[in-house]
A and B are shown apart, each in its own frame.
Chain A
Amino acid sequence: MSGLYLHIPFCSKRCNYCNFYFSVNKKLIPDYISALKKEINLTSEKYHSIEFDSVYFGGGTPSLLSESELSSILDTLYSNFKISPYSEISIESNPEDLDESKIKSYINKGINRLSLGIQSLNDNELIFLSRKHNRIQSLEVINLVKKYFNNYSLDIIYSLPGQTFENIKDTLDIFIQTEVPHISAYTLTFEENTLLHKNLKDKLISKNSTDIEADLFLKLSSYLNKTGYSHYEVSSFSKSGFESKHNSKYWTYTDYIGFGPSAHSFYKNKRWNNYSSLGKYIRLINENKSPIEKSISLNQEESKFEFLTLSLRHKGINFDVYEKLFNEDFKIIYDDVIKILKSNELAEVKSGFIKLTDKGYLLADEICSRYF
């Protein structure tokens, strides 16, 4: 089944590590919501034959939306798409936006998964990341979320300059104690056009070497593994049965339709994305024009490359699926690659698929650009 993605391009401020498109002008929210609903109404007809089992509110900061705004979007979705009653309906939230009544309202609207941008439980680290919330706030919100949600995820950003694994463990241990079912753990990246990148260039801060990053990644992965989380995607860990249904669509080459500025879609071997500018998006929709900026149909070679690279980031390449899609036997064609990856402990071959090890995950891009 397919996924629906709603991009909520508002944040109350820019974090210094983020180069993603968003607006801080909350006055535009009403115009945005009506444009979003119009986009959904205008395009949904194409997807009447398919069923959806995931809805994901991503951002930006979706928790900035009021109950009624969120509600009206959800209503529009339900009236336009066939959405399974067993769907995973997720929302990304920042700790500072949540209180008990807001959490309850999410539950009431059928939202059944919450992804919380904790990033760290150390106040100095949070200041370094220019986050608005602090440790105390976070702990309170985590307890509230735990009280109402069976399925939720906590985010951590690690490998901050000078950070030791002990520092990271302080945050992880609390995650583990709360028995959170899903953890997303990202190494800090210094994206262009961010304050962090500028500070790095100006030598105000330093960046951990890739060797240190790799050590921290392996330690974190094995620690989470020992405490009951399986490493099912480069940056994702979950207890059994709590993998993100929506995000997994990205890695399993399954269709998803995105709405809102800069939203990405994949449907029938075609990828497209909307303009990222909020103003342009609203204007185009109001002029009854398509908000799509770019659209490409993947040729055989591109779709094979994507399938392989995405599968390797996730739970591995399934030989049967590969053969069905591309009419060739992966095991025969990439016999050498399989041998090299196995003998260097970068991958494991198990019943019907090849999956990267933690060490292999660290080299996923290198492996893909080298062998595929």
Chain B
Amino acid sequence: MNKFRNFCIIAHIDHGKSTLADRLLEFTRTIESRNMTKQVLDNMDLEQERGITIKLHAIQMNYKSLDGEEYILNLIDTPGHVDFSYEVSRSLAACEGALLVVDSTQGIEAQTISNLYLAIDNGLEIIPVINKIDLPSAMVDDVSSQILELIGGKKEDIVKASAKVGTGTQDILEAIIKKIPPPKIDNTKPLRALIFDSLFDIYRGVVIYIRVVDGELKEGDEVNFYFSDKTFIAEEVGILKMGRKRTGKLESGNVGYLICGMKDVNDCKVGDTVFSSKQQISEPLPGYQEVKPMVFSGIYPANTEDFENLRDSLSKLKLNDASLTYEPETSVALGFGFRCGFLGMLHMEIIQERLEREYNLNIVTTVPNVEYKVYKTNGEMLVVDNPSIMPDPSMIDYIEEPYIKSQIITPTEYIGNIMKLANDRRGIYKTTNYLDPKRVDVQFEFPLGEIIFDFFDKLKSTTRGYASFDYELMDYRESSLVKLDIMLNGEPVDALSSIVHRDNAFDWGKKLCLKLKELIPRQMFEVAIQAGIGNKIVARETISAMRKNVTAKCYGGDISRKRKLLEKQKEGKKRMKQIGSVEIPQEAFLAVLSIEK
């Protein structure tokens, strides 16, 4: 009889996924509770701080069921953010079942629904769990109805739990055994294993996390990666407990890791299929996609001499994060840096923070933008991921921008606010579905460029934190877009250019000029801030000249004190970017982000 059960947990941020995972690990004695740091699955510092899982991991538990049998449970963790939805889909594909965890005080959220549909599409058995039932504000009945509305089934099949205090842990484990089908096992078929994650180990190279679908993987096998088309020798194969546990082989149905002397994480693409190169190569496992960055921004060292450090740091980050892209670029304003591509805004923030915290770099980030398709009058199509390479308006026939399909789940009383926000962001209303009398699922299409700035924050504040949001890329559409340039004392500052919709350009230019006026300190001379489209100035602000910066007195010939004071001022100036005669503080390059639309 087949003792494997492979499952994952679908939950919205803060609904208790990591705490529930901790309880399962404790209950199955995979880990002793006294050795636990809170939420072991999120083992990157940044993840723990933000309370979110950004990279997936897997762990194996042994559970002796009430039926007296011992089972092997593989929990595959999924990232909890929309930026990583493809990775979510691949980890779902490695499972036969999923726990759907819903916070009894919050109800179901957009992200949960989209991941739930992904799971159902992948044929997963769903075990609904209502969490946090110990809280006085728990709405167990309401949330039960919401769940039944979505997945059908019987009310009594919903497990009620409190991961915090440990209620329901055994019920969940029993449900996993009983309801989730065991994987189909056939060790005689040619090997096919699904890659659902990888990490880079400085001693061992790339460690590949796999689910063996067909056949058996043994150390010494020559393995081939279908999409990257690379061949390696399996040096070490094992399962994932609290750490890696070498077993020498992995049979079909099981989850584990493979180390094969791979040095470049790009050779190991999530969703790719591992074959045995000696056996006849069959079809790859379905669902593979090339992951493409959607949001782009320039990252520059604040001190030009840190360019090489930045390059090294990015290459180290890339070892663990195949979805990060970067290419050298030059800005007139900022010097040498990199144009980086990210899966989304959260991904971008994480990379920035890691560069600053883990690699101690002082960086300047430019305003993020999406990738535009610019069709020129000569028939050429140019992909523009940086406003500064936008061709002159006279050479442009038309421009296309990416659109997304979005799902917003909200209590009904906020529909009005959301409509207004969507309108401000050029949203196209599609449909509304009532999940229950109090909660709706509102669907819009948006230009991606309109939601990468601060849409999520705005949505949260306009709905007092109740709405949730999920999106997927749809297509490219023609839009009336223009490049808005910023000039300081007549000199264009390439790093401050942005691409905006023509209808918003005046308003936007005005707000941007005002914001820059706030952020750029007074200088020795008047500074004119202008926003322009082509040759036309659409907004102007003036920073009046600094009037006074002089020490009145040097007591008794104390010149050293004065020199120190001036040297400190000099240091302060070094941290600014000098553009023409104007000194610009680093924050100014992200000014756009703090503007109210």
- Chain A residues within 8 Å of B, Cβ to Cβ: 5, 7, 20, 58, 186-187, 189, 210-211, 213-215, 217, 234-235, 249-250, 256, 258, 262-266, 271, 273, 294, 296, 302, 305-306, 309-310, 313, 340, 344, 346, 361-370
Contact = CB atoms under 8 A, between A and B. Distances in A.
B135 interface: no
Contacts of B546: 210, 363, 366
A369 B566 contact: yes
A364 B559 contact: no
B558 A264 contact: yes
Contacts of A310: 559
Interface stretch (B290-298, B472-480, B549-557): B549-557
B546, B554, B557 — which one has the most chain A CB atoms within 10 A of its CB?
B557
A363 B559 contact: no
Contacts of A273: 558, 560
A362 B548 contact: yes
B563 A306 contact: yes
B563 A363 contact: no
Contacts of A258: 556-557
B154 interface: no
Interface string B399-435: 0000000000000000000000000000000000000
A367 B569 contact: no
Given A305-B566, A306-B563, 8 more contacts: A211-B547, A235-B553, A363-B524, A364-B549, A365-B550, A365-B551, A367-B524, A370-B573
Contacts of B204: none
A305 B563 contact: yes
A210 B548 contact: yes
Contacts of A366: 524, 546, 549-550, 569
Given A210-B547, A302-B563, A340-B581, A256 B557 contact: yes
A309 B552 CA distance: 14
B230 to A, nearest CB: 55
A94 B30 CA distance: 82
A250 B549 CA distance: 20
Nearest to A187: B552
Contacts of A344: 524-525
Nearest to A366: B549
B464 interface: no
A235 B554 CA distance: 10
Nearest to B555: A20
A214 B566 contact: no
Given A210-B547, A217-B548, A235-B553, A365 B560 contact: no
Nearest to A272: B560
B98 to A, nearest CB: 58
A129 B557 CA distance: 24
A369 B558 CA distance: 18
A189 B552 contact: yes
A264 B556 contact: yes
Interface string B453-487: 00000000000000000000000000000000000
A214 B547 CA distance: 6
B565 interface: yes
A210, A217, A264, A367 — which one has the most chain B CB atoms within 10 A of its CB?
A264
Contacts of A305: 563, 566
B148 to A, nearest CB: 61
B557 A250 contact: yes
A346 B563 CA distance: 21
Nearest to B550: A364
A2 to B, nearest CB: 12
A265 B553 CA distance: 17
B570 interface: yes
A40 to B, nearest CB: 17
Contact of B569 (A58, A234, A313, A369): A369
Contacts of B551: 189, 365
Contacts of B562: 309
B563 A250 contact: no
Contacts of A370: 524, 573
A361 B548 CA distance: 8
14 contacts: A7-B556, A210-B547, A214-B547, A234-B550, A250-B559, A258-B556, A271-B559, A305-B563, A366-B546, A369-B566, A369-B570, A369-B572, A369-B573, A370-B524
A213 B555 CA distance: 20
A310 B570 CA distance: 16
Contacts of A186: 552-553
B557 A266 contact: yes
A273 B268 CA distance: 66
Nearest to A246: B557
What 5 pairs between A and B have smallest CB-CB spacing?
A214-B547, A369-B569, A366-B549, A214-B548, A210-B548
A186 B551 CA distance: 9
